[in-house]
Structure 1
């Protein structure tokens, strides 16, 4: 049983290496050899830890989603007012601004989700989790609108466009959230807390 922590560490190293390779070469460029080389491990370990390359890639993207969403989901669930909800939505977009790797991996994830139901489920559950945080204070409809706004801004970043400032995005998110005045969970909005 002592080998388990080492085995877990090896598995994690392979998952991170698969993400690095996918970021550099695209999903189609991921091979067992490249992953093992990027991880600094023997080639046989990829097939020992994963049934096949598809299994390795799906697990790697699950890890990516877990790490990326942890960066901002907590903010959605801890938001208590209009401004903190705007901050949470902005954090989604800003998580991509400083990292070519994150942008590339998100693009690859979305591309895979078009073709593969397992990836689509991964993207869907990720989005549902973020929307659930918004829905604590706003209607489901507004949560969908807000998601569409941050997804659109994220898509522009993936395309290499960074022509919206944080202030402009804040204004957009504020307009969406303030529009929710009449359709609110519990009869209040984050903009007008119960009094």
Structure 2
């Protein structure tokens, strides 16, 4: 495909750059992520990265937004199957016990996102959108305070289970969810 100046136009290049940014962040962390590393991972010229993104922070912010949207979609999809409060509790248990949002790569990226957001206010807005989305999905069945507690529980247990030598099993997760959300 050619653009108006007769140059090749790659309609997937911008998305490849975003995807590559997440790959690089997962491999080396935000602190070691550079335009050059992203360009190499995306298999694009270095100039393409700066063409599509005005700064590294803008690129990282958008990549983290993509991560948050993907993770929120998986979270919402499981909760959308719920028809009542009891099935919503089961959905929360599934989300935690089956690592629906918290597969290892996503957890690693979320650690990086939290650390980056602490020092970059535009990224904290990404975190807020992610939390708002999760709480809205939970809010179909739970009051706002319980939805907030369950959201923190989903993330907290996911994070702890990812590094704990004795992660919580489904029965323990069920007991905790029922204590928070009522059984």
Listed as ranges, the matches of 1:70-109 within 5 Å are 70-93=73-96, 94-95=99-100, 99-109=103-113
1:23, 1:104 within 8 Å by CA — same for their partners in 2?
yes
- Aligned equivalents of 1:139 and 1:7: distance in 2? 47
2:25, 2:33 within 8 Å by CA — same for their partners in 1?
yes
The equivalent residue for 2:122 is 118
Distance 1:51 1:91, change over 3 A: farther
**By percentage of residues, which structure has more helix?**
1
Provide the alpha-carbon RMSD of the alignment.
Answer: 2.2
The equivalent residue for 1:183 is none
1:136 pairs with 2:136: no
The equivalent residue for 1:24 is 27
Paired residues, what number?
Answer: 176
Alpha-carbon displacement from aligned partner over 1:27-81 (angstroms, at most 9, x marks no partner): 0111111101111111111011110111111111111111111112133244222
The equivalent residue for 1:171 is 175
Alpha-carbon displacement from aligned partner over 1:91-131 (angstroms, at most 9, x marks no partner): 4431355x332111010011112112212111111111111
Structure 2 alignment gaps of length 5 or more: none
2:74, 2:101 within 8 Å by CA — same for their partners in 1?
no
- TM-superposed CA distance for 1:2, in Å, is 6.2
Distance 1:92 1:127, change over 3 A: farther
- TM-superposed CA distance for 1:88, in Å, is 2.8
- TM-superposed CA distance for 1:133, in Å, is 1.9
2:75, 2:101 within 8 Å by CA — same for their partners in 1?
no
Distance 1:101 1:140, change over 3 A: same
Deviating more after overlay: 42-51 vs 125-134: 125-134
1:142, 1:177 within 8 Å by CA — same for their partners in 2?
yes
1:76, 1:130 within 8 Å by CA — same for their partners in 2?
no
TM-score with structure 2 length normalisation?
0.85
1:86, 1:173 within 8 Å by CA — same for their partners in 2?
yes
Q: Which runs of 4+ in 1 moved over 4 A?
A: 1-4
- Aligned equivalents of 1:123 and 1:115: distance in 2? 12
- Aligned equivalents of 1:20 and 1:126: distance in 2? 20
* Secondary structure of 1:95's aligned partner: coil
